[in-house]
């Protein structure tokens, strides 16, 4: 069926409208605190929705339904761990972040260990976030090329440029408030899609339950808890223990040490509101992922063909939107998917820029030229945003035709570094005897182990962060004790 002029008009109105809305915040950006922390004056509910939007990219919306189409609801076990991880952050890491005026997560590392480790942790964040975000931006091309018939490179360029415009001008305030609108758009669009698919399936809900139920598509827990423990199958990504333990540790790392999310938590008015935003986002994310999985199951009930018929599972939902949805509805759903893409990209641009300026530029420049005026700092922050936009565009182009199921690839790339980062943060927060030498060596060992798990093992990615965290913490703490003992003996 394809898109018609009404669909294209809806998409165009959304793209122009959200860009103009973001530009409304440009007059408020006078200092670095305004640009990177929104003057710490954002209400908790807006931060909560922004956190949800920041971790919900295009690859989430198109790939999670593909997972349910191919398998079942066991992915939700991982999301349960996401909720547990938020509780850990609220009690362990948030109190540390609200002691003093911090702009980035890695300033906490310098305060505890020293400047060298801050440089290392910030550098690891910049590298892994850029690569993972390149995959997420690439996912946009899957949707836009199917919907509009434009080339994949052109599709990536359009979204990158429009997102850059309001992120460049409005800073974190523009990012958060556009996230709020975009969250409502893509959730509403997904609900519309769910109802439409249900209407198109012959026999409606009873037919869906008969088809999906017979194939155990609604299965959430792969095995009973007692039967599975302590015999863990580390090769399976979506088991109960991989979800609860692996998902919790993954989220503690991603939301507690990754500047992408920490920056939002630091923008809250106080620690209590920051914790409330974080915990409420966990509940929202759980229901959101359940919604995406329901879409995948209903698509299976509608098509009842292997995902290979579409080339890859990620193409099923976009293909349905373009070829089966009524005109107007299809335009709304494409706009919803683009909303998720732009919210995630804007979050990445602002967090990458903040870490680049605060963790590198201002530190090293102040060593030779102590005085850097606020207008110059703001100008450099905006230039860093532009530079990262070009780099992410290039990485997205490189990702074309090189990845399979994109949501899992994105999680895998992030998992490679998260264990080492979380291990270092826990060494700093939970111990008093750990030192910079031990922490750096432990981090190197943790990264090495995670790279091995990624490239040469059959261990599922849901366990990588847990293993990397344990290795980093154990090696870092042990070496710190040895170094301390050696110094005392002298």
pLDDT above 70 as % of the chain: 89
Rounded mean pLDDT, 80-109: 93
pLDDT of 371: 67
How much is the mean pLDDT over the chain?
A: 85
The whole-number pLDDT of residue 401 equals 57
- 459 pLDDT exceeds 80? yes
Place of tokens 């305030």: 173
Indicate if the pLDDT at residue 395 is higher than 70: yes
Higher-pLDDT residue of 157, 138:
157
- If we measure between CA atoms, which residue out of 197, 433, 434 comes closest to residue 303? 197
Kindly report the pTM of this predicted structure: 0.89
What pLDDT is stored for residue 368 in this prediction? 58
Model confidence at 379: pLDDT above 60:
yes
Residue 76 CA to residue 58 CA, distance in Å, equals 18
> Residues with Cβ < 8 Å from 372, sequence gap 6 or more?
362, 365, 366
> What sign has the CA pseudo-torsion 143, 148, 149, 150?
negative
Q: Does domain 5-401 have CATH number 3.10.450.50?
A: no
Closest among 339, 295, 320, 317 to 10, alpha carbons compared: 339
CA distance 92 to 430: 8
Question: For residue range 264-283, what is the model confidence (pLDDT) as tens digits?
Answer: 999 999 999 999 999 999 99
**Boundaries of every domain in the chain:** 5-401
In the chain, pLDDT over 90 holds for what percent of residues?
A: 39
pLDDT at 310: 83
- Poorest-pLDDT segment among 307-316, 397-406, 476-485: 397-406
Q: With a cut of 70, say whether residue 149 has pLDDT above it.
A: no
Digit-coded pLDDT (tens) for 416-425: 889 999 999 9
> pLDDT for 187-233, tens place per residue?
888 898 898 888 888 888 999 889 888 888 998 887 655 555 555 67
Examine the pLDDT at 443 and tell me if it is beyond 90: yes
């Amino acid at each position: 069926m394809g898109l018609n002029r009404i669909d294209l008009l809806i998409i165009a109105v959304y793209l122009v409208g959200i860009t103009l809305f973001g530009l409304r915040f440009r007059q408020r950006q006078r200092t670095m605190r305004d640009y990177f922390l929104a003057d710490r004056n954002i209400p908790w509910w807006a931060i909560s929705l922004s956190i949800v939007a920041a971790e919900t990219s295009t690859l989430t919306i198109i790939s999670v339904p593909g997972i349910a189409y191919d398998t079942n609801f066991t992915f939700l076990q991982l999301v349960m761990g996401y909720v547990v991880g938020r509780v850990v952050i609220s009690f362990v890491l948030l109190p540390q972040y609200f002691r003093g005026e911090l702009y980035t997560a890695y300033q906490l590392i310098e305060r505890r260990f020293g400047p060298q480790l801050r440089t290392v942790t910030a550098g690891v964040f910049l590298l892994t976030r850029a690569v993972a975000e390149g995959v997420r931006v690439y996912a946009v091309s899957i949707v836009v090329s199917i919907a509009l018939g434009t080339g994949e490179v052109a599709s990536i360029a359009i979204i990158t440029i429009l997102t850059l415009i309001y992120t460049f001008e409005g800073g974190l305030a523009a990012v958060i408030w556009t996230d709020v609108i975009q969250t409502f758009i893509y959730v509403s669009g997904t609900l519309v899609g769910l109802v439409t698919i249900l209407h198109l399936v012959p026999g409606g809900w009873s037919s869906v339950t008969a088809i999906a139920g017979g194939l155990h598509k609604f299965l959430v827990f792969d095995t009973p808890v007692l039967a599975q423990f302590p015999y863990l199958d580390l090769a399976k990504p979506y088991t109960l223990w991989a979800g609860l333990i692996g998902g919790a540790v993954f989220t503690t790392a991603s939301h507690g040490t990754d500047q992408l999310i920490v920056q939002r938590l630091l923008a809250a008015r106080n620690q209590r509101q920051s914790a409330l935003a974080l915990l409420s986002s966990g509940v929202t994310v759980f229901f959101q992922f359940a919604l995406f999985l329901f879409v995948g199951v209903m698509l299976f009930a509608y098509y009842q063909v292997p995902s290979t018929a579409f080339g890859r599972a990620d193409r099923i939902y976009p293909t349905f939107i373009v070829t089966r949805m009524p005109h107007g509805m299809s335009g709304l759903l494409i706009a919803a998917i683009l909303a998720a893409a732009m919210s995630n990209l804007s979050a990445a641009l602002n967090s990458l820029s903040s870490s680049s300026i605060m963790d590198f530029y201002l530190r090293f420049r102040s060593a030779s030229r102590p005085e850097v005026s606020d207008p110059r700092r703001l100008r450099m922050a905006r230039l860093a945003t532009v530079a990262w936009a070009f780099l992410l565009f290039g990485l997205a182009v490189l990702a074309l035709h090189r990845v399979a199921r994109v949501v899992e690839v994105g999680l895998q790339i992030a998992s490679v570094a998260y264990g080492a980062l979380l291990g270092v943060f826990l060494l700093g927060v939970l111990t008093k005897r750990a030192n910079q030498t031990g922490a750096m060596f432990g981090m190197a060992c943790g990264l090495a182990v995670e790279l091995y798990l990624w490239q040469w093992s059959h261990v599922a990615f849901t366990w990588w962060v847990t293993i990397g965290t344990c290795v980093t913490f154990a090696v870092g703490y042990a070496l710190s004790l040895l170094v301390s003992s050696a110094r005392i003996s002298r």
